[in-house]
Structure 1
Amino acid sequence: MESRRKRKSSQIFKWVCYTLLMLLCTVLQTMPGLFQLGAAKPLYLLPLALAVSVFEGEFAGAIFGAVCGLMWDYTAGRTVGMLALELMILSFAVSAVVQLYLKDTAQNFLLIAAGCAVLVLVCDWLFFYYMPGYSGAWNRFLWFVLPSAVLSIPVSLPIYWAARKISIEFKIDNGVV
C-alpha cells in the first residue's frame, strides 16, 4: 500500500509528463514545414487531448482537452476559445464512448482520432471559409481539410502510445494486492 504523499507526488508527476507531451506536440504542430504536404499539416494536439481523455476519464480529459484547445488557439493566433470548447466537448465524449461502448485498442483510437480531426477541421472550414463566402472555400476544403485529417492519422499512433505509457506508469494501485 502506497502512502498518500507518494500517490499525490505520482499523480503530480503524471500530469507534468502530460504537460511536457502537450508542449512537445505544440512545438511539432507549429513548426513550419514539418511533415507538410502542400498547405496541409498533421494535427498533434487533437490526438493528444483524445488520448489523455481515453486514459484519464471524462472530467480530467475534458479539462486537458480545453487546455490543449487553448494552446492551439493561442499558437494559431485565433480567437481564443473555439478550439478549446471543441476539444473539451470531444474529449469528454470520446472518453465516455470508449468507457461505455468501445474496446480501448489502437485501431479504435485511430478511427476516433481521424473522425474527430475531420469534425474539427470541417467546423473550422465551415465557420471561417464557407459561411463568410470566400471564393476559394471548396479548394481549401479539398487541399487542406481532407489532407490534414489524413496526415493526422499516422501521427495519432505514437501519441496514443506515449499517453498510454504515461498512464500505465503512474497508475494508482488503490491498495489492491
Structure 2
Amino acid sequence: MRIKTTRQQHILRIKTTLRWLLYYLLIFLSFIIMTSGTLYKPILLVPLAIAISINNNIYGSAVTGAFCGFLIDICCGKLFGYNAVILAFFCILTNLVFELYLKNRFINYLMITAVVSYIQCWLDYKFYYQIWDYENVGRIFVRVSLRVWAYTVISAFFMYLLVKLVNKLLMPKEHLTIEEAINTNIQNENKR
C-alpha cells in the first residue's frame, strides 16, 4: 500500500463525486424506464440498489436503498415510504453480508437480488391484493408478480455490469494515510 499524497486525496474526492453522480444518473434512467411502458416491466431499481450497496459503505447503501425505494413507491403508486423501508433494510443487510462473509462475485449478487426481489414482490402481493381477499387473487401472483420478479432478476445482469464498469473506472484504490503508515511501522518494529 502507498501513502496518500495531497494530489491523490484530491483525485480521490473527484473520482468519488463522479462515481456517485453516475450512480444517481443510472438510478434516474432506471426510474424513467420503469415509468414508461406496460404493466409487465422489471423493477430496475431493486437490482441497481443492491449492486450499489455491495461496494460502498453502510450509510451510502442505506441512503441509496431508501431513495430507490421512494422512487419505486412513486412509480408503482404504493404507500409512500413502504418500499423505501424494505429496500433500505435489504441494502444495509447486503452491504454487511458482502463486507463480512461473501466475496464480490456475480453469482452471490444474483442470488441476493433474486431473494430480495422475490420478498418485495411477495410482500406487495400480500399487502395489496391478498389482504383484501379479491376473487381469483392467486392468479395475480402467478401471472403478474412472478413475471415481474423474473424480469427483475434478468435485468440484474445488466445492472451488475453497469455498476461494475462505473466501479472499475472510478473506485478508489487502497492507500494508507501518513498516520496509518507510521502506526504500521511502529507495530512492525514492536513485533520484532
Q: TM-score with structure 2 length normalisation?
A: 0.82
Identity of aligned residues (%): 23
CA contact (8 A) 1:56 1:167 kept: no
Give the aligned length: 171
Paired position in structure 1 for 2:102 = 102
Equivalent position to 1:21, from 26, 48, 66: 26
Deviation digits for residues 26-61 of structure 1 (CA, Å, limit 9, x no counterpart): 12222213xxxxx53222000000000011132211
Secondary structure at the aligned position of 1:173 is classed as: coil
CA contact (8 A) 1:48 1:159 kept: yes
Deviation digits for residues 58-81 of structure 1 (CA, Å, limit 9, x no counterpart): 221111010011111112232210
Unpaired stretches in structure 2, ≥5 consecutive residues: 177-192
Paired position in structure 2 for 1:114 = 114
Unpaired stretches in structure 1, ≥5 consecutive residues: 34-38
> Which is higher, the Rg of structure 1 or of structure 2?
2
Q: Please identify, of 41-50 and 167-176, the stretch whose mean Cα deviation from structure 2 is larger.
A: 167-176
Paired position in structure 1 for 2:9 = 4
Distance in structure 1 (CA, Å) of the matches to 2:149 and 2:158: 16
Distance in structure 2 (CA, Å) of the matches to 1:75 and 1:86: 16
Q: Please identify, of 42-51 and 98-107, the stretch whose mean Cα deviation from structure 2 is larger.
A: 98-107
Paired position in structure 2 for 1:159 = 159
| Root-mean-square deviation over aligned CA pairs | 1.6
Distance in structure 2 (CA, Å) of the matches to 1:93 and 1:70: 18
Distance in structure 2 (CA, Å) of the matches to 1:113 and 1:175: 31
Paired position in structure 2 for 1:36 = none
Distance in structure 1 (CA, Å) of the matches to 2:136 and 2:45: 27
Deviation beyond 4 Å, 4+ runs, structure 1: none
Q: What letter is aligned with 1:90?
A: F
Structure 1 residues 17 and 147 mapped into 2: Cα distance closer, same or farther (>3 Å)? same
Q: What letter is aligned with 2:24?
A: T
Distance in structure 2 (CA, Å) of the matches to 1:115 and 1:153: 9
CA contact (8 A) 1:40 1:143 kept: no
Query: Residues 23-172 of structure 1: matches in 2 within 5 Å?
Result: 23-33=28-38, 39-172=39-172
Distance in structure 2 (CA, Å) of the matches to 1:173 and 1:26: 30
How far is the alpha carbon of 1:4 from its aligned partner?
3.4
Distance in structure 2 (CA, Å) of the matches to 1:167 and 1:56: 10
Q: TM-score with structure 1 length normalisation?
A: 0.89
